[in-house]
């Protein structure tokens, strides 16, 4: 059975994940550096990892398997999960694939260099109802594909 792993500390679409998972009967594992409220009645598991910059990422990367689904805004974590054959979706509903992850990693490096040089880059735009709906639809499609044998 596939699982949905959520990089949970700053994930803005947890409620949408819970709804899709409940509809499809999938397990959800939320991984965070702190205690979060998760709906236990829906079978959502919370894993609290020690403080540290990559502790949640490392835990997810160690536990994820082929055909699992990972929701994260962290591009390096997305790349690690794709390497084992997982499906990866950003909170904006954009799916990361083996073909697209190289460009995403390069863009991340460019933005990091701009910030280090004193420039500013924009963060993610706030999510409104349209963006939340787009994410839910994308997660549903990815989960349906993950459930099909490859």
**CATH number assigned to the domain comprising residue 47:** 3.40.50
φ/ψ of 108, rounded to 5, equals -60, -45
Domain that includes residue 100, residue range: 3-147
Domain total in the chain = 1
Q: d(Cα 11, Cα 124) in Å, to the nearest integer?
A: 12
Largest Cα–Cα distance in the chain? 48
What tokens appear for 49 in the block? 């990892």
Note whether 10 and 56 are within 8 A (CB): no
Predicted TM-score (pTM) of this structure: 0.86
What pLDDT, on the 0 to 100 scale, is given for residue 105?
A: 56
Regions of the chain with pLDDT less than 70:
102-111, 113-115, 121-123, 150
Beta strands 44-48; 27-32: pairing state = parallel
98-131 pLDDT tens trace:
888 766 656 656 667 666 777 776 667 788 999 9
């Amino acid at each position: 059975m596939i699982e949905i792993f959520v990089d949970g500390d700053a994930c803005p679409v947890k409620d949408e994940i819970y709804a899709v998972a409940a509809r499809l009967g999938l397990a959800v594992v939320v991984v965070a550096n702190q205690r979060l409220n998760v709906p236990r009645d829906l079978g959502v598991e919370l894993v609290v990892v020690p403080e540290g910059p990559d502790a949640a990422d490392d835990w997810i990367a160690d536990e994820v398997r082929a055909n699992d689904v990972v929701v994260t805004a962290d591009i390096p974590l997305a790349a690690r999960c794709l390497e084992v054959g997982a499906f990866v979706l950003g909170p904006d509903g954009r799916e990361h694939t083996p073909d697209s992850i190289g460009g995403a990693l390069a863009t991340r490096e460019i933005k990091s260099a701009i910030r280090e040089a004193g420039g500013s880059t924009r963060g993610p735009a706030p999510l409104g109802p349209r963006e939340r709906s787009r994410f839910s639809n994308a997660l549903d499609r990815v989960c349906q594909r993950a459930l099909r044998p490859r």
